[in-house]
Structure 1
Amino acid sequence: MKTIEILQYALRKDTGTAFHTIMREVSVPLHQHHGIDVVSFGHSLHDPDCYYLIRAFESPEQMAAVLDAFYSSADWRNGPREEIIHCIETSLKTVVDLRTESVDALRM
């Protein structure tokens, strides 16, 4: 089993392309550098200004520890944080446990 965090973002109008570029080129590589398993990310099929990010962790406790370290790091605070936050109008977060096989099926 893996603990999966699904983030859904409603982005400010017409920021979807810029948001995806920074996710692909800066944020996701930064996540991976910090040991975060990014399962999948991208635009919703129904709206280019809606976006998702799926991350996998070993447990809820490991998720909390890893994300606390990531979001308090200078890499994040001095890196893409402001540009990303500027694009997000609202966000939703769902955390579930899934079988490893199901997580692997979600990978890009």
Structure 2
Amino acid sequence: MTRIIEILMYTLKPGSGLDFHRIMQNVSVPLHLEAGMDVVSYGGSLHDCDSYHLIRAYESESHRLAFQDVFYASAAWKQGPRADIISRIEISTTTVMALTQDAIDALRASRAEARSA
């Protein structure tokens, strides 16, 4: 089975990586999960503490767009972590691609392994 993944890559304002991760881990990712989004991986880059990624999986491109329309229009997002997250981002890029479920599961497992290391 093939699914769509979206890779968001952020260049953060200098020195904001630790705060950004705290907000993602404690507020934004739980909010994503409550909304039914499949968060595959998130975290800082190994090469730069002010670079960050968020990987989400969807059933299709239309599913991705529909979920995001609802999520980003919600009061929970707008009145929640939105301002704190956006204020720390200098550059944001997005890539969308198709991957097999096995590949997505491998990405998810690598995130879990990195957390336990």
Match of 1:40 in 2: 41
Match of 1:105 in 2: 106
- Root-mean-square deviation (Å): 0.3
* Gaps in structure 1 of 5+ consecutive residues: none
Q: Deviation above 6 Å: which 4+ runs of structure 1?
A: none
Give the TM-score of the pair, scaled to structure 2: 0.92
> Which digits, 9 at most, give the CA deviation of each residue in 1:33-68, with x for residues without a partner?
000000000000000000000000000000000000
CA distance in 2, matches of 1:44, 1:52: 7
Match of 2:114 in 1: none
Identity among equivalent pairs (%) = 53
Match of 1:84 in 2: 85
Match of 1:68 in 2: 69
Match of 1:93 in 2: 94
Q: Name the aligned partner's letter for residue 89 of structure 2.
A: I
CA distance in 1, matches of 2:60, 2:43: 24
Shift of 1:15: 0.1
* Gaps in structure 2 of 5+ consecutive residues: 112-117
CA distance in 2, matches of 1:91, 1:70: 18
Higher strand share: 1
Match of 1:58 in 2: 59
Shift of 1:13: 0.3
CA distance in 2, matches of 1:51, 1:64: 22
Say how many residue pairs are matched: 108
Match of 2:115 in 1: none
Q: Name the aligned partner's letter for residue 91 of structure 1.
A: S
Shift of 1:86: 0.2
Shift of 1:74: 0.3
> Which digits, 9 at most, give the CA deviation of each residue in 1:82-107, with x for residues without a partner?
00000000011000000000000000
